[in-house]
Structures are given as C-alpha cells and as structure tokens.
Amino acid sequence: MKLTFIAAALFAGSLLSLNNSHAAEVLRISPQLEQQVISWRRDLHQHPELSNREFRTARVVEDHLRKLGLEVQTGIAHTGVVAILDSGKPGPLLALRADMDALPVTELTELPFRSTAKGEYRGKEVGVMHACGHDLHVAMLMGAAEYLVQHKAQLTGKVMFIFQPAEEGAPAGEEGGAALMLKQGLFAKHKPEAIFGIHVWSAANTGVVQYRKGPLMASSDRFEIRVKGKQTHGSAPWGGVDPIVAAAQIINNVQTIVSRQINITRAPAVLSFGIVEGGVRNNIIPDEVYLEGTIRNFDMGIRQQIFGLLKQAAEASAAATGATAEVKIEEGYPVTLNDPELTARSLPILQQVAGQDKVLEGQLVTGAEDFSYYALETPGLFVFLGITPEGQDPAKAPANHSPYFYADEKALKTGTEMFINWVLHYSS
C-alpha cells in the first residue's frame, strides 16, 4: 500500500454460504491454527522480497496451497499465486486477496525475527523489510485457506485465493501487481461475484477495523513537466528565456486547480510538487527546468479534469514568459472504491468478528492501493485492521513504511477470521 491509510469497509456475507442452521454463527480459528499463522508470518518477515521478486514467498504459498489439495496457478504477473477452492455445490465465486511484496527499507526494530535481507533497488543494494505488513496479509490468507479447506462441507460455490506481487509498484521498466494480473486474465475465466481485502494499519489499536462506503483511498498519479527556455548569462536575462521564472509561475498557478477550479464539495484533491531541478551555476540561466509531482483525488471524473487543467495551466504559464512546457502524466492506481451495498451487508458480520466497539467508520485516505483495480471489475470491500498494541497511542506508533514498523501479532487472529467469515456468511 502506498503511504497513508485510515479507513476501509466492512461486510456481512461470504463467498459461500454456511448451512442455514449456522448462518449467524461466527467461526473462530483454533489456538493451533493461530500459532501456525504467527509462525508463517515470522518466517515471511525474516525473508522479505521486493516487488516482482517474491520468488521464495510464492514458493511458500504454493507449497501450502498444494498440500491443501487446491487447484493452483503460479507465475501470474511474474510471481503471483492463485488457487481455487471448489465446494462442489452451486453458489457464488468470491475472491480473497493478499499482497506479498516488501519495501526497500532497512529494518531497525529489535525483533528476534527481524529482517537482515538485502536487495537491489534502482541499481543500488538496499535493506529489505516488510515495513507495510504484507507478511501479515499473506499469513492470514494462508490460514483462511487452511480453515476453509478443512470446513469445505459447510461451503457452497467457490473461493479464489489471490496472492499478489508488486502492490508497492513494479520496478522501473516493468509491469506488475493487480493491473498485470488482470491483464493476464485473472478474471477472464473465473470472475468473482465479490472480492475482499485487508490491510494492517499502525494508526489503530490491535483488532480495530476501519471501513468506509464508496471512495476509501485516493487515486495516485505522477506528473512531470519539462520547462524549456533559452540559456543566457545571469547578468543579461534579456538575452534568453528564463525557465526558472516560468517554472515558478507554473508551480504557483497550478495550485489554483484545486483551490479555485475543482468542486471540492464533491471530492477532495491534492496536487503537490516533489522535485524541482534546474541549473548548474549561480550566474547561468539554464535551458531547462524539470518538475515532478503527484496528484491524489477521490473521484474518477474529477481526476481526468485535473489532468486537463494541469496541462493547460503549465503550457499557458510557460507561454506567458516565452518558455514552453511539456507535460507528461503517468496514471497510477485508481480510486479504491468500496461497494456501498457490499459494505452495508458486511457490517454486521464484521462487528461480530471484531466486536461492535472495534468496528469504526474511517476517514478518506490520500494514500493509494492497487486493490482498486479489482474493485473496478467486481464489487469490492477493503478494510484496515489495527496492529498497534492496546495501551499504546497509535498516533505515535511508527507508521507503515517506517524502519521501526511493528505489528502486534494478536491482530492475525482477527484478520484470519475476517477472511473466513466473509466467505462463510456472504450468502446468509
């Protein structure tokens, strides 16, 4: 998941239905399975792998799923693993998703199972750490798969288990993640009726579930602007065209897109510059200035409107100074949308699994998630699960992506049971 989080949506149903006599029953995992999930998590944490390089992780997942007797597909989107559990009885196909990749972060915790792994990122050797909790996601879904296979007689329909690579983004020059899985036909043969996902979240205490109907997480788009002028000596600016002044005008004028041109009563938006590069010497006005930034928003229509306004503002601002501006927009993850109906029907079972006092409606999150691609194809529900121990202030806990990121493993039980009960109560 990319940077910030805060909310997600809940659900009261399942891929496959329980026998009618058990329709309201909440299923709990055994202490033995809970310890197995913890063990998987610790092993994965010690052996993190970067995006599109999750080879060992994929083998661990594949071996487990095959031991369960499931139909398994591997190599989807490079290292993705997908399995289907068929109850043999009529019913819907539901999907459960976990992401597998780690981050180029050197772990600084004192955990006995902390990572000392190294990897290559942008041509440099880096530390690798599960600093966003994807190790927990994989372990919880492995546990859910084991439980559901063991209780297959209580199911109807089918369950698709999706273990996805590269949620944090594919390396430069590569494709990956949810978009590539779908491009390679993930839903072509077996399209689920609904899909569910969980992300652990350090800004909430252990076991707290945060949800939201409709938009949950923002779209994330990258833009770059090359402002071209004409080099001249700094003592004689009239002899050229100053791209630095033009870039300054662009930076200022673009801010009015959100503050003056977008109807923010419909959906919030953020447009930020993160890179400004130009010039090599104090008395030389350069030929070119490079700008780069990010756009975040919660409405797919407004997203396209911002793209057009950015191009217009950059080109017009540059032209006013005699310079030119070339704008390139790289579309990233779409808005993560929780299906309102699915969220509403899911709320009661989430409250039973986690406890009514621990299921909270969250705020919009300007971070992004590639679960969004699945939710554009079929109704989706994505929730956040707190992992900061009780008694600690989650506002002060190391955030996701921090080298000090810490997850209370008590949350693994709640997350595993959420996956299980989503399946078992979907049709009830």
Q: Is 290 an annotated catalytic residue?
A: no
H/E segment holding residue 96: strand 93-99
Of 115, 118, 104, residue with least CA distance to 401: 104
For residue 280, with 0-12 CB atoms within 10 Å meaning exposed, 13-18 middle and 19 or more buried, which class applies? exposed
Q: Is 409 an annotated catalytic residue?
A: yes
d(CA 15, CA 352): 18
**Active-site pick, 333, 373, 374, 426:** 333
**Active-site pick, 292, 326, 377, 409:** 409
Written in H, E and C, the secondary structure of 342-377 is HHHHHHHHHHHHHCHHHEEECCCECCECCHHHHHHH
**Do 114 and 44 contact (CB within 8 A), yes or no?**
no
Compute and round to an integer the Cα radius of gyration of the chain: 24
> Position 15: which residue type?
L
d(CA 52, CA 297): 27
> Position 227: which residue type?
V
**Do 193 and 95 contact (CB within 8 A), yes or no?**
no
**Do 100 and 165 contact (CB within 8 A), yes or no?**
yes
Residues with a known catalytic role: 333, 409
